[in-house]
A and B are shown apart, each in its own frame.
Chain A
Amino acid sequence: MDVTLNVKRFDPDVDQPAPYYQEYSLEVEDSSTVLDGLIKIREEIDGTLALRCSCRSAICGSCAMRINGQARLACNTKVADAVPNGNGAIVVEPPGNMPVVKDLVVDFKPFWDKIRAVEPWLQHMGTKPQHEHIVTNESMLDLAGVMDCIMCGACVSDCTVLEVDSNFLGPAALAKAYRFVADPRDSEHGWRLGELNEYGGVWDCTRCMQCVEVCPKDVDPMGRIMALRDKAMEAGYNRTYGARHAAAFTKHVEHSGRVDELRLPIESKGIFNIVEMLKLAPVGIRALLRGKMPPIIHKSNPGMDHVRRIFEKAEKRR
């Protein structure tokens, strides 16, 4: 089939480097991947095109890039599936949230710095067992879901929080952190959770699902972040705004079946938190003036006894 790839290019070696787009038209097999197309360009059409790739089977994590605006592995994206509306050009760009080195090659330093920041190595105090650690296969299978991560950076590329705040640890590093917090052999869970509870950690995720959607290995980074939040709260880290917000939210649903938007911010920030209460005031006043204030008296839904019993049962089952 004939296809056009519109590739975002950047050459740092020219006098005034600036990104630009270059269109390549080529013929590929119907079963070809976008990577096959890029390799063909690089080997037959334009030898100056730079990209990383190696295994061609979604294991090495080298070829994450944005294809039609979304982070993917070029090696497991079929050209036929990527052609917009069956004919237009496929837009190929470097992954986001990392500085571009050349063309589709980005600098992974920020990525690895964050991985390193979660101290991603097994820490066990005390004496090692003579043979292997005895642990359940289920616990290892759960970790296998995270170890499947090939560090391709697709999740980091498309993370909406990283777009506004580069201090966020990000989905890959947090999933890596989960791998140790959920490892029964690791003895530093408490310390790890404490660190992850800080600014830039688990509570800064917006749950936007970008990482879930773009992960080529179904690692579900966001799900791991949610699990870390739960583990942090279970471990007693429940004084953060995030933990208080989650607790207040849960309480409201349990008691009335729905959220009480008037009390949620107050309870999240803490009624005695004068600074934050003052910050909330103008928002409240504006809402009041516009008649957008939620009802002062928060009415419960009918049939609430049933909802409460569902909560009780769910709590017991944990």
Chain B
Amino acid sequence: MKYAFYPGCVSRGATPELFVATTEVCALLGIELEFEPMRGASCTGSGILQEKNQRLGDTLNARTFAMAEATGLPLLTICSTCQGVMSQANKRLKEDSDYLAEINADLAEEGLEYKGTADPRHLLWVLIEDVGLDRLKSLVVRPLNGFKVAPFYGCYIVRPTAALGFDDNPQRQDSLERVIEAVGAEVVDFPGKTLCCGFPILMINEANSVKMVADHTLDAKGRGADAMVTPCPLCHLNLDGFQPQAAAQSRTPIDLPILHLPQLLGLALGIDPRAMRLNRHIISTKKMLSQVALSP
């Protein structure tokens, strides 16, 4: 299994632990990541460029899709936001051939053309759809029995469903829960799992943003979660990075470790927590790791 790898800005910036954990885990899962040919791919626009100019965002994503097409490999993402923005752009490009032709005209000078065959998929989906949960289970060396994990998806990997292929792939609806169970852990369900983490308004209305962090983490914790796992590094930035503010603002200690999806997998696959930089989180994972009989 070989993929054109699109890591996104954040895994190469503020959450470097995601990048390394992904690399480690994919090696064990037999997923080969081709990053070199994708190095020149730009940011998806994250929904922000699209506010101002949707066509600009679509052009940048068409460029990325064309680069992936050129490798002949399927495109893999590790960020809910990248995934959603790409899926939405891809839907528009595939549905309107005139629009695609216009955009290809802008890509031509770089010698690129998007033929409309790309199908960007998040590692979360690839785990179920390509690797298979049975195979994942068979690779587990350290089942996380008794470990209670709350899923947190990130908006763009669950909405809008029309762009995300949920109709054809109903397993995507509860993919995170399936993966949590596959590694032996217990799912802590809570209504906030598909809601917003608050990150997009962090710079704009920090109080509201941080309240979202507090609401979700406290709710999950109240339902017995030992940790929360997310396939979105932006959610991670807020849920982990701003949890101290959330605790202060709500005057309640929280201390709920937030895991990137590959980190959860890595724990079950036997990867050294330090190799996945679990010691580099804002919220300490020490207690959690001792609970799963590991030390950081």
Q: Which residues of A contact B (CB under 8 A)?
A: 69, 160-161, 163-165, 168, 199, 203-210, 212-213, 226-227, 229-230, 233, 240-242, 245-246, 249-250, 252-253, 257-262, 264-265, 268-269, 279, 282-283, 286-287, 290-295, 301-304, 306-307, 309-311, 313-315, 317-318
Contacts and interface: CB of A to CB of B under 8 A. Distances in A.
Given A286-B241, A307-B60, 17 more contacts: A161-B196, A165-B207, A206-B199, A207-B200, A208-B200, A210-B196, A229-B51, A230-B52, A249-B49, A253-B42, A279-B206, A292-B15, A294-B13, A295-B13, A301-B41, A302-B39, A309-B109
Interface of B: 9-10, 12-17, 39-43, 45-53, 55-56, 59-60, 63, 84, 106-107, 109-110, 155-156, 159-161, 191, 195-196, 198-201, 203-209, 211-212, 215, 241-242, 244-245, 277, 280-282
B205 A203 contact: yes
A259 B208 contact: no
B225 to A, nearest CB: 19
Given A203-B204, A253-B42, A306 B63 contact: yes
List of 3 A-B pairs having minimum Cβ-Cβ separation, nearest first: A303-B40, A314-B56, A208-B196
Contacts of B49: 249-250, 253
A161 B208 CA distance: 7
A226 B51 contact: yes
Contacts of B45: 253
Contacts of B63: 306-307, 310
A118 to B, nearest CB: 19
Contacts of A199: 205
A152 B281 CA distance: 43
B48 A250 contact: yes
A233 B51 CA distance: 11
Contacts of A282: 244
SS class of chain A's interface: helix, strand, loop or mixed?
A: helix
Contact of A160 (B52, B55, B161, B212): B212
Contacts of A242: 201, 203-204
B52 A233 contact: yes
B42 A212 contact: no
A161 to B, nearest CB: 6
Given A165-B208, A306-B63, A290 B159 contact: no
A208 B195 contact: yes
B5 to A, nearest CB: 14
Contacts of B280: 290-292
Given A292-B282, A317-B55, A226 B40 contact: no
Residue from the set A161, A227, A265 with the largest chain B CB neighbour count within 10 Å? A161
A85 B52 CA distance: 40
A285 to B, nearest CB: 11
